[in-house]
Chain A
C-alpha cells in the first residue's frame, strides 16, 4: 500500500518557563492508504502535536512532512501558508474531538464549507455524504440541534467533501457514547477499505485495537510500531 503521508525525522519543541521542552524527537512515521493507523500515548506524549504537523497545521522545527499530492509526493517544508492551505483542503480531511462545526450554519452548510469543486455539484455531494453517514434527514439542522455522535458524523462528512486520500482524526470518539463510537469506527473502516489513509490519535484502547497499525509515542519519541491487521474487525 502506498504512503500517503510521511513524517521524516520530525522534531518540535516549545518554550516553557525559560527553557525549551522537546515535544517530538526525530519521529519517522508513514501513514498508508487502505489502513487505519492509530497513534497512542499518554497525555503530553506529543501525539496531538504530531497530528498537527502531519496535518500541516504546525510546522516542525526539524525534519519534514511529505504529502502524496495529485501529481506525486510533495515535500511540504518551505511551503507558504497558501500552499499548505491548498494541500489541507484537497488532500487532507480533519475530524476533531469537539467536532468543531460552525454553530450558526446548518449541517449541510458545514459539510459544504471546505468544498472546492464546482458550485453546482457541491450541494448534491454534501447531501450524498450526509446520507452516507446516516444524516440525510438532518441536513438542515443546526449543530446545536444534533447529538454529539451526529455532530461528529457531520464533521466526518465535511472531512470527505473534497474526496481527500487521507483522514486525520484527533480523539474522534472522545466525546461519544459506545453506540456512536461503533458507528463512527465503522465509517472509518469503510474509508480505509476505499483506499484512504485514516490516522486516529487516541488514548482509547477500543479504538487502538480497531486500527490496522498502532504507533506509540512516549516523551516525544516513537517507541513501538505494531501491525495488527484487523481489517474488517469493527465491533
Chain B
C-alpha cells in the first residue's frame, strides 16, 4: 500500500489525537498572520502615503547666492530643471516678510510665501474645504505665531504692513488688507516657522515692491528664492539631487527625515516577527511532543507494519507525512483564523483616528507570496519537529515494537 495514502488515511483516522497539535499551531499561525497582515497593510499605506508622497520625493533648490556664474531661480531655470531625467515637476517658492496687525495692537512678523502643491501645510481651521490655490488678497498663517493666537482671526480681514523700497538699506511701510482664510499646524515648518501662504501675484507684488524692481521684471531678474524639484519616485531622489547639484544649485532633500517610520508601525512589525519566531518554536515543540507521544502509543502498529514488510524509511516517511499533513491543515486553518483575527483587530484599530488610515480594508493578510512562504514554513517546521521521534520509532525492531503478539 502506498505510504502517502496510508498516512492520509491515518490522519483522518487519528484526527482526534492530532487535534491538540492542529489547534496549537493554527492559533499561533492565526495570531502571527493577523499581526503580520496589519503591520504589512500599515507598511503599505506608509509606503504609498509617506514614502512616495510628494514631500518625500521633493528636492529643495535654494538661490545660488555665492555662485555668480549660476543663473537665478527664474522660470527658465525651472524649465531647465524640469527637463532633467526622472523629474516629475518643478514648483517655485517666493518669500517676503510682512506684518499682520491684530485688534489687540500686536504686530506679528510673517513671511508671505507662495504655495507649492508638493508641500501643502496641514490646515487646522479654514473658511472652505479646498483652500489652495489661494485667491489674490487671501493669506493662510500658522495657528499661533510669536505668542499670538491667529486662529481666532480666521474669516476676518486683517491689516497688513509691507515694505516699499526707498533706497538700498532703506524702506517705508505700506499698510494694506488681506483676508485670513485659514491657519495651519505651526509645527509644520518646511517654509520657515512663520510662513504665511498667499497667492503668487500677491507675494511677487510684495517682493517686487520691497526690492524696488518693477513687478513685471522681478521673476526674470531676481527670481524665486527657492524651487522644489519633485522626482518621479522616492528611489529617484538621490540621482535627481545629484543632477541638480551638478548644475551649481544647492539642493537638499526631505527624504531622510521621512524615512523613519512611525514608531508604532515599527513596533507592530517587530511584534509580528517575534510572533513568527514563537509560531516556529510552538510548531516544532508541538510536533516533537505529539509525534513522540503518538509513536509510543502506536508502537504496536509500527511493529505490525515492520513485521509485514514495511521498511524503516517507509515507516519514517509515513509518520513525517502524517505530521506534515497535520501542519498543512493547521496552516490553512490558521490562515482563516488569521484573516478573522486581523479583521477584528483592524476594526478595533479603526476606532483610533490616528491609526485608522493605516488599517484600511477588511481582510488583512500578508501578501500572497509571503503568505505561501509562511504556510510552507509552518508545514516544514512541523515535519522537521516530527523527524527525530519518528526516526526513533521507525528504527525499532518489529519484535520490540510489538510486545504483545
Residues of A with Cβ closer than 8 Å to B?
48, 52, 55, 57-58, 81-82, 85-86, 88-90, 94, 96-98, 100-102, 104-105, 109, 112-116, 119, 122, 158, 162, 170
Contacts and interface: CB of A to CB of B under 8 A. Distances in A.
B405 A98 contact: yes
Contacts of B301: 102
A158 B308 contact: yes
B312 A115 contact: no
A96 B13 CA distance: 23
Nearest to B310: A85
A207 B43 CA distance: 78
B308 A109 contact: no
A151 to B, nearest CB: 13
A52 B310 CA distance: 16
List the 10 closest A-B pairs by CB distance, nearest first: A89-B309, A104-B13, A114-B308, A88-B309, A85-B311, A112-B1, A100-B304, A82-B311, A114-B309, A57-B398
Contacts of B2: 119
12 contacts: A85-B310, A86-B311, A88-B307, A89-B308, A89-B309, A89-B310, A98-B404, A102-B304, A109-B1, A109-B9, A113-B1, A113-B6
B78 interface: no
A81 B308 contact: no
B8 to A, nearest CB: 11
A133 B397 CA distance: 30
Given A100-B405, A113-B1, 12 more contacts: A57-B398, A85-B311, A88-B307, A90-B309, A97-B405, A100-B307, A102-B304, A104-B9, A104-B10, A109-B1, A114-B309, A162-B309
B402 interface: yes
Contacts of B309: 85-86, 88-90, 114, 116, 162
A162 B308 CA distance: 10
Contacts of A101: 304
Nearest to A96: B405
Contacts of A158: 308
Query: What's the dominant secondary structure at chain B's contact region?
Result: helix
A41 to B, nearest CB: 16
Interface string B225-241: 00000000000000000
Contact of A82 (B13, B14, B312, B397): B312
B311 A114 contact: no
A109 B399 CA distance: 23
Nearest to B398: A57
B269 interface: no
B310 A114 contact: yes
B317 interface: no
B126 interface: no
Nearest to A122: B1
A81 B14 contact: no
Interface string B1-18: 110001001100110000
B405 A113 contact: no
Given A98-B404, A104-B10, A58 B308 contact: no
Interface string B264-305: 000000000000000000000000000000000000110011
Q: Give the interface centre of B304, B305, B308 by most chain A CB atoms within 10 Å.
A: B308
Contacts of A97: 405
Contact of B307 (A57, A81, A115, A119): A57
B63 interface: no
Contacts of B93: none
B306 interface: yes
A114 B405 contact: no
Given A52-B399, A104-B10, A88 B308 contact: yes
Contacts of A81: 311-312
Nearest to A48: B405
A85 B14 contact: no
Given A58-B399, A81-B312, A104-B13, A170 B306 contact: no
A91 to B, nearest CB: 9
A176 B138 CA distance: 106
A57 B399 contact: yes
